[in-house]
């Protein structure tokens, strides 16, 4: 998989597609997943083009990495889920079943997010 500048998240970042933004900082945009799998389901994405977690880990600046964690903190505070908790995951590549080729973290919360045991 390679970076496709026409992926839906790139379009959202360019303002060519709509998204329900809940938070942003200098390097990160956070918006609601269009097909939520939990009561709260927010996608957290870097504003620069990174394909996946490996690309980001290898090539992002320290500030960009810091700002991803700042966004996690802000979303958790915004939804007041510090105590109840959440699940944050990122899907990477074919085996991770990544659908959109722009790094994104799923933050899911608002009730038990289910077990992490393997199923179909």
Binding site residues, ligand AMP, CB under 6 A: 8, 17, 19, 33-35, 43, 91, 97-100
d(CA 36, CA 26) in angstroms, rounded, equals 25
Closest to ligand AMP by CB, 19 or 71: 19
- Residue 63 or 89: the one with the smaller Cβ distance to ligand AMP is 89
Look at the alpha carbons of 35, 39, 45, 50 in this order and tell me if their dihedral is positive or negative.
negative
How would DSSP label each residue in 14-78?
HTSS---EEEE-SSEEEEE-SS-SSSEEEEEEESS---SHHHHHHHS-HHHHHHHHHHHHHHHHH
Distance in Å, CB of 68 to ligand AMP, minimum:
15
Q: Name the residue nearer to ligand AMP (CB basis): 5 or 63.
A: 5
CB of 16 to ligand AMP, least distance (A): 11
**Half-sphere exposure at residue 116, Cβ-oriented, CA atoms within 13 angstroms:** 5
Quick one: 10 or 19, whose CB is closer to ligand AMP? 19
């Amino acid at each position: 998989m390679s970076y496709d500048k026409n992926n839906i998240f790139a379009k959202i970042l360019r303002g060519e597609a709509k998204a329900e933004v809940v938070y942003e900082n200098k390097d990160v945009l956070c918006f609601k997943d269009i097909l939520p799998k939990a009561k709260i389901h927010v996608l957290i994405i870097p504003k620069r083009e990174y394909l996946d977690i490996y690309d980001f880990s290898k090539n992002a600046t320290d500030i960009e990495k810091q700002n991803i964690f700042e966004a996690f903190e802000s979303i958790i505070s915004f939804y007041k889920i510090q105590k109840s908790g959440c699940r944050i995951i990122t899907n990477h590549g074919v085996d991770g079943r990544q659908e959109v080729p722009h790094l994104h973290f799923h933050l899911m919360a608002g009730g038990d997010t289910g077990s992490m045991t393997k199923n179909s």
